[in-house]
Amino acid sequence: MKSKRLNQLVDLIPRCDVLADVGCDHGYVGIEALLRNIAQRVLFVDVSEMSLKKARDNTPDDVRFRCKYICRDGLGELEADGAVIAGMGGLEIISILSNAKFLPQTLILQPNRNQKDVRKYLETRYTIDYDRMMYCGGIFYNMIVAVRTDHPVALNELELEFGKTNFVGYNKDFYLYLDKEQVKLKKILNDCNDPEVSAKLSLIERAIAVLGGSK
Ligand SMILES: C[S@@+](CC[C@H](N)C(=O)[O-])C[C@H]1O[C@@H](n2cnc3c(N)ncnc32)[C@H](O)[C@@H]1O
């Protein structure tokens, strides 16, 4: 795979019949899901014809008959049991899901921003099975897997802010994130007393305390 982030996305996809790779761009995630037989068929969806062409050109001939290339905004009326929506802002992801006629059974999401808003959207419709931070190429990514449920469970404040399964087991990337944020926010507060920064630091310190304080 082209990067640790893309590889991790593919690793998180459960076996499915139809996978939608929404905002597919190069198409690497959907293509790899086909090559590994995780998905039987893939709908490559992108709002940009130029991006979709990249996915089409990158698809190996021997899996092409299992692919559909669709130039459109979001899922609309498309039906898929799994959907990967990665590498775009959280508000765009929420808009795509809000406008979808059929919500996929499983979502694999990687919002670049507004992760908390995505979790708020998910917590009333999906069970979040996996929500962990990964550090790759100097950037922290939030990787989320959510499964549709009729019995959603609310997240607590720290889970909403940072991701539920970061608090399960040991995730060195999450520790690194908390450490870097704590140093950065303390430095800012040394220069000016900003209540928002202070509130954020308090959340970081609560997360560190929940994890046991040791790094
Ligand atoms: C930065 S790329 C991410 C590509 C790939 N998913 C990844 O994670 O590497 C974002 C892609 O999403 C597409 N996109 C943005 N909003 C979209 C929407 N509402 N519906 C479909 N495609 C969208 C863009 O055209 C672009 O190709």
CA of 24 to the centre of ligand 1 (A): 6
Is residue 157 exposed (0-12), middle (13-18) or buried (19+ Cβ within 10 Å)? exposed
- Atom index in ligand 1 nearest the CA of residue 96 equals 19
pTM of the model: 0.96
What CATH class has 4-167?
alpha beta
Q: Domain spans of the chain?
A: 4-167, 172-210
Structure tokens at 3: 């990067």
Q: Give CA separation, 44 vs 25, 41, 172, 195, in Å.
A: 9, 10, 33, 44
CA of 142 to the centre of ligand 1 (A): 16
For ligand 1, atom 15: residue with the closest CA: 23
Residue to mutate, 7, 25, 139, ligand 1, most ligand atoms under 8 Å from C-beta: 25
CA of 167 to the centre of ligand 1 (A): 29
3-state secondary structure of 46: strand
For ligand 1, atom 13: residue with the closest CA: 23
Q: Identify the CA nearest to 162 among candidates 94, 115, 117.
A: 115
Residue to mutate, 47, 97, 143, ligand 1, most ligand atoms under 8 Å from C-beta: 47
CA of 97 to the centre of ligand 1 (A): 14
For ligand 1, atom 3: residue with the closest CA: 87
E-assigned strands of the chain?
A: 16-22, 39-46, 67-71, 82-88, 106-111, 126-136, 139-148
Q: What is the pLDDT along the chain (215 residues), one digit of tens a residue?
A: 679 999 999 999 999 999 999 999 999 999 999 999 999 999 999 999 999 999 999 999 999 999 999 999 999 999 999 999 999 999 999 999 999 999 999 999 999 999 999 999 999 999 999 999 999 999 999 999 999 999 999 999 999 999 999 999 999 999 999 999 999 999 999 999 899 999 999 999 999 999 986 45
CA terminus-to-terminus distance, the chain: 31
CA of 184 to the centre of ligand 1 (A): 30
DSSP 15: P
- Atom index in ligand 1 nearest the CA of residue 88 equals 10
| Residue 67 phi, psi dihedral angles, 5° rounding | -120, 150
- Atom index in ligand 1 nearest the CA of residue 25 equals 27
What confidence score (pLDDT) does residue 137 get? 92
**Cα–Cα distance between 149 and 111 in angstroms, integer?**
21
Pocket of ligand 1, beta carbon within 6 A: 22-25, 45-48, 51, 73-74, 86-88, 92, 96
Is residue 192 exposed (0-12), middle (13-18) or buried (19+ Cβ within 10 Å)? exposed
Q: Which residue has the tokens 């694999």?
A: 108
